[in-house]
Amino acid sequence: MDFMTSIKKTSNSWQSGMAKNITFIVTKDCQLACKYCYLVGKNETERMSFDVAKKAIDYVLNNRKLFNEDSVIWDFIGGEPFLEIDLIDQICDYIKLQLFEKHHPWFNSYRFSFSTNGINYHEERIQNYIKKNHDHLSIGITIDGTEKKHDLNRVYKKTEKGSYKDVVKNIPLWLKQFPFGSTKVTISSADIPYICESVLHLFSLGIHEVNINCVFEDVWKEGDDALFEEQLMRLADKIIDDGLYEQNACSFFNDNMGKPMDCIRDNNNWCGAGKMLSVDAAGNFYPCTRFAQYSLRDKDAWIIGNINDGIDQNKLRPFLTLDRTTQSKQECIDCNVASGCAWCQGENYDAAQTHTVFERATAICKMHKARVRANNYYWNKLYRKLELEDMREQYEANKREVKSEIC
Amino acid sequence: MLQYLVILLDDTSVAYCHADNPLKKHNLIPVETLKKGIIFGMKNNLMIQYVFPDYRLPIEYHKTIESIDNVKICPINQIPDTGLDNENESDVEVANSVPEKVKANNLVLRLKFSEILTKKDEISKLFGKHYRLNICITDVENFTDEDIEKYQQLLNNWNIILLDLYKEGETPQLNILTDRMMLDKMHNCDAGVNNITLAPNGKFYLCPAFYYDEKMKVSNQMNHHKPSSDNSVGDLDNGLNIPNLHLLKLDHAPLCRNCDAYQCRRCIWLNRKLTWDNNTPSHQQCVISHIERNASRDLLNKIRGIGEFMPDIDIKEIDYLDTFDVRKEF
C-alpha cells in the first residue's frame, strides 16, 4: 500500500461521516491565547466534573433512538483538552465499560478524538493515556507552520511568548505514534504572507496532511485576497514542481471546488451543527461547541437541553432543516464559483442581524474567490504535468478526498 | 406586502391570539401617537385594526379613531365606545371562556387545550351562528403526543355537527375545520410581512406578543443583538426597520414551504418561543395543524357526499403529522 493510499484509508473522515460526534468541553482554559481564537470567553473556572460527564454519557447511551448512528466519535475539546487528562481518562474508561455492559453497537465502533496545541503532549500522564487507548485515538496537533508564522498568533496567555518551540519538539513523537497525523492551520489577515513557507515547513516536518482554512470572522483587509492568491500560486508551483503532491495533501487545493451549484441538487448545509452534540461543564447541551457562550461575541448561547432534562428536540429543528439556499444571499446562490465556499453556523449566528442561523456570513467571499483562482491554476498545472508524464490515471486512482476542515 | 396595521390602544388591550397579554397596568396610547399611527397607515395603504382594552376610552380618542376606516378587536361584550352611534360595534370579539352572547361577526375563542376538551359541547353550540368562530389554543407548547388522539376524536365529533349544518344549507365557519377546505395555498398570520403592530410607546413590533415580551423582559433573544432587549422593528419617527425581513417569509421556511396545512397560523412568536427560530415551527404546531388539516379533509369528503363542493380543492391523504418527519434530508 503506497503512502497516499494509506493516508486515504486513515483519513479524518472516519466512518465516512456516518458517526455521531459527541463533544465534551472539558475545560475552557488553555495555556495559549491565540490571537485568532474564536473562543472569546475562555476561563480557568469552568472545568467539567466527572459527574456531569457521566450523566451526559448515560443520557446518550440510554437513548439509542435519538443516537442511532452506527459509530461514535467522542470528541474532547477545550481550551486545551489535555489539561484535563485525568478526567478524560476516567470518562473514556466509563464509556468503554458502559458500551460493554450495555452490549452497545458502538462498543466496536468508537473513537476518541482530540485537537490539541501539543504543548504537554510528551507528559507521562498523557502518554499513558495514549498507550492505553491508541487504537481508538485520533489526535491532531495544531501547528501553524514556520516558527514566525506560528508565533505570530499562537502565544502563551501569561507571557505572550510564542509556543512554536514547545510544540515542534513533540511532533516527532506524535508522528511516530500517529504516522498519518494531520494538522490544522488557521489563516487570519496577518498570516497571509507566511502561507506558502508554512505549508512547506509542515510537509518537511513529516506532516503530510495539512488542513488549512481562513477564519470566517470579518477580519479581512483591502488587498488580502490578492496577497492570498499570490501565496497560493507560489505554494502550487512548489508542490507541483518539487513533486510534493505525491506524498502530501493541502486542503487549500481541491478539484471539486469553484463550480456553480444547483439549487436543488446541491442544497446541503455545509456545517454539521445540530447533528453533533456538545456538552459543557454546566451540563448544558449545544448543537455544536460554537454555540456555547464562550464561543459567542454578540449572542446568547443556543442551549438545546441539558444532562438532566435531555435534548429539547424543538430547539434542534432549525439546524436539521437548514439548507444552503435558504440561508444564502442571492449573490451566493448565483455565484459561479460557489462550491467549496464554506461557512460556520456558529459564526453565522453570531454575526447575524437577528437571532437566527439562517443568515449566512459572507466575510470570507473574496478570499474564497482568490482561493478558487489559485486552485484552478494548481489543478490545470498538475494535470498537464501528469498527462505529459503519463501518470494521471495512477494519480487519480490514489488521490485522496481532501477534507475541508473548517472547525 | 404589508396590508394591515394593528394598533394596540392600551398596554392592556385584549390578547386575541396565541400569546396571553400579561400586562395589567393601563397605559393608553397618547392621542398624538395614535394620530401619527393612523397617518402612517394611510400613507402606506394599510387597513387599521384597533385592539381595545376592557375600559372605555376618553372622549378625545373617539374622533381620531373614526378618522379612518377600521376594524375593531374588543374583549367580549365590551362596547368600543367611539362616540359615533353607527360605529359602536366591534368587528371581532375575543373571549377567554365560552360566551353566552356574541354581537360581532367574528368571535375569537381563546382556550387551553384541556379547556377545549372539557367545554367541547358548549363550544359546538357556537357553530353555525351569525359569526365566524376562530378557536385559538393558548397552550400549544403543552400539547403532547398523548393529546393527538384526543384532538382527532374531538374534531371528528365536531365534523359530524358541522356536516349536519351543511346538510341544512348552512355554511358554518370554524377556522380549524373549514378554512383548509377553502384554501389552495398558505394563508397564515404573516406577522411582519402582511401586518405590523404599533404599540402605545410609538414603536412597531412584529406582533403584540413581541411587545408583551419586551415589557415583561421575557428574553433578549427575540431580535437584534445581545446587548439590546428591544424587540421593536422601527418607530413612527423613523419608519419600519425589520432586519432579515426575508426570513419571515414562507419561501424561507424550509418546513412550511413544503407543507399543505394551509390553515396553520405559522405563528412566528410561537416559533421563536419553542424553536428559537422565526421560521421553524415546533413539533406541537405542526402536529396540531396536521390534525386539523386531516380533519378538514374528512369533512370535505363528507360534504362532497351531499353534493358538489369546492371542486378545485384537493387535500391529499398523508401518513404523517409533522412535516419535519418527511423533510428532505441533506
Using the predicted structure, report yes or no on whether residue A376 has a pLDDT greater than 80. yes
* Residue-averaged pLDDT of chain B: 92
Residue from B289, B316, B302 nearest B152 by CA: B289
Tell me the C-alpha distance between B104 and B170, whole Å.
Answer: 18
Q: What is the pLDDT of residue A264?
A: 86
Using the predicted structure, report yes or no on whether residue B196 has a pLDDT greater than 80. yes
Using the predicted structure, report yes or no on whether residue B330 has a pLDDT greater than 90. no
Structure confidence at residue B30 as a pLDDT band (50, 70, 90)? very high
Q: What is the pLDDT of residue A50?
A: 98
Going across the sheet that includes B4-8, the strands are B132-137, B106-111, B92-95, B70-75, B47-51, B4-8, B195-198, B204-205
Distance of residue B319 Cα from the nearest chain A Cα, in angstroms: 20
**What burial letters (b/e) apply to B97-123, b meaning 16+ CB within 10 Å?**
ebbeebebebbbbbbebebbeeeeeeb
Q: What is the pLDDT of residue A83?
A: 97
Looking at residue A385, what DSSP letter applies?
A: H
| Contact across the interface for B247 and A354, Cβ inside 8 Å | yes
Q: Could you say which residues from 219 to 248 on chain B have a Cβ atom under 8 Å away from some Cβ of chain A?
A: 220-227, 243-244, 247
Encode pLDDT of B79-121 as tens digits.
776 666 666 688 999 999 999 999 999 999 999 999 999 999 9
Q: What is the pLDDT of residue A38?
A: 78
Using the predicted structure, report yes or no on whether residue B222 has a pLDDT greater than 80. no
Torsion, CA A67, CA A72, CA A73, CA A75, rounded to 10: 40
Q: What is the pLDDT of residue A5?
A: 52
DSSP per-residue codes, B220-240? S-SSS-TT------EETTTEE
Q: What is the pLDDT of residue A1?
A: 44
Using the predicted structure, report yes or no on whether residue A351 has a pLDDT greater than 60. yes
Q: Which residue of A has its CA nearest to B275?
A: A315
Encode pLDDT of B106-163 as tens digits.
999 999 999 999 999 999 999 999 899 999 999 999 999 999 999 999 999 999 999 9
Encode pLDDT of A140-169 as tens digits.
999 999 999 999 999 999 999 999 999 999
- Residue A268, phi then psi, degrees to nearest 5: -75, 150
Share of chain A above pLDDT 70, in %: 94
* Residue-averaged pLDDT of chain A: 92
Going across the sheet that includes A310-311, the strands are A137-141, A110-116, A71-77, A19-25, A277-279, A284-286, A305-306, A310-311
ipTM for the predicted complex = 0.91
Q: What is the pLDDT of residue B227?
A: 45
Q: What is the pLDDT of residue A256?
A: 87
A275 touches chain B (CB under 8 A): no
| Contact across the interface for B226 and A299, Cβ inside 8 Å | yes
Using the predicted structure, report yes or no on whether residue B23 has a pLDDT greater than 70. yes
A325 touches chain B (CB under 8 A): no
Distance of residue B192 Cα from the nearest chain A Cα, in angstroms: 14
A328, HSE (Cβ side, Cα atoms, 13 Å) = 22
For residue A302, the chain B residues in CB contact (below 8 A) are 276
Encode pLDDT of B237-266 as tens digits.
999 999 999 999 999 999 999 999 999 999
Q: What is the pLDDT of residue A46?
A: 86
Task: Give B239's contacts (C-beta < 8 A, 6+ positions apart).
Answer: none
SS3 A141: strand
A329 touches chain B (CB under 8 A): no
**What is chain A's length?**
407
Q: What is the pLDDT of residue A400?
A: 64
**Is beta strand B204-205 parallel, antiparallel or unpaired with respect to B47-51?**
unpaired
Structure confidence at residue A271 as a pLDDT band (50, 70, 90)? confident
Using the predicted structure, report yes or no on whether residue B223 has a pLDDT greater than 90. no
Q: What is the pLDDT of residue A403?
A: 61
For residues B270 and B77, which has the higher predicted lDDT (pLDDT)? B270
Distance of residue A267 Cα from the nearest chain B Cα, in angstroms: 7
For residue A317, the chain B residues in CB contact (below 8 A) are 255, 275, 277, 280-283, 324
- Residue A326, phi then psi, degrees to nearest 5: -65, -35
| Average pLDDT score over residue span A252-256 | 91
| pTM of structure | 0.91
Report residue B33 as a C-alpha cell.
401617537
Using the predicted structure, report yes or no on whether residue A13 has a pLDDT greater than 60. no
Encode pLDDT of A14-48 as tens digits.
565 689 999 999 999 999 999 888 788 888 888 99
Encode pLDDT of A274-325 as tens digits.
999 999 999 999 999 999 999 999 888 999 999 999 999 999 999 999 999 9
Residue from A78, A27, A23, A22 nearest A281 by CA: A27
Share of chain A above pLDDT 90, in %: 82
CB-CB: which of B222, B225, B275 is closest to A318?
Answer: B275
Tell me which of A356, A359, A360 to substitute to probe the interface with B (most B C-beta atoms closer than 10 Å).
A356
